[in-house]
Amino acid sequence: MIIMRAWAMPNENTFSIKPIKNLIEKYIQEKTIVIDPFSRNSIFKDKCITNDINMSYDTDYHLDALDFLKNIKDADMVLFDPPYSPRQVSECYKNAGMSVNWKTTQSSFWSNCKKEIARILRKDGIAITFGWNSGGIGKKYGFEIIQILMVAHGGWHNDTICTVEKKID
């Protein structure tokens, strides 16, 4: 396993942060079907099947992330950059003109997303998760961590932790 640390200014567009962009580029070039269930205005939208619940973003689909993942048959790679906290979930739904419900802030929603990612990723597929922890998709779903990148943003900003996992089962 490779563990790396980088420093970068915070940015709400995670994939625009240079060390994170470089990490994704390292893995995305060898994959053909890449899924991004929380795309926003991703700089990788031309290389992914994109989704965002907010209709104002130019994505392939505008579904709830779990519904989007349930409609995917298989993939080589998943970029999983969900809102990192219940507050961020609330902001995303409100920005999309929707109300937040208890289902979208429960931990089971995120567990169900991980189950779907495990279902759709082919053996040797790559999942890159972004958040404030390195939990990733997890060993229980047949994944092995191959790289962790911690991006420190300085001051009182939370670090962004990028966990790269390979599906082994």
Kindly list the strands in the beta sheet with 121-131, ordered across the sheet, starting from the edge strand earlier in the chain.
Answer: 2-7, 143-152, 160-167, 121-131, 75-80, 34-36, 49-50
Cα 27-56-131 angle, rounded to 5 deg: 40
Task: Name residue, tokens 């965002």.
Answer: 52
Would you report the helix, strand and coil content of the chain in percent, each value rounded to 5? 30, 30, 40
Q: Give the residue extent of every domain in the chain.
A: 2-167
Please report which confidence band the pLDDT of residue 21 belongs to, taking 50, 70 and 90 as the band edges: very high
Q: Which residues pair with 145 in a beta bridge?
A: 165
105 has pLDDT over 70: no
Selected residue with higher pLDDT from 56 and 94 = 56
Question: Which pLDDT score is estimated for 132?
Answer: 85
Written as one letter, the residue type at 54 is N
Phi and psi at residue 6, to the nearest 5°:
-140, 165
pTM of the model: 0.89
Question: Which pLDDT score is estimated for 80?
Answer: 94
* pLDDT tens column, 28-72: 987 789 999 999 889 998 999 999 988 989 999 999 899 999 999
Length of the chain: 169
DSSP single-letter state for residue 97: T
What is the topology classification, in CATH, of domain 2-167?
A: Rossmann fold (3.40.50)
> Which residues have a Cβ under 8 Å from the Cβ of 158 and sit 6 or more positions away?
84, 132
Compute the distance between CA of residue 24 and CA of residue 70 in angstroms, rounded to an integer. 23
* pLDDT tens column, 141-163: 999 999 999 999 888 888 999 99
Identity of the highest mean pLDDT range in 4-18, 94-108, 143-157:
143-157
Q: Residue 76 in contact with residue 120, Cβ under 8 Å?
A: no
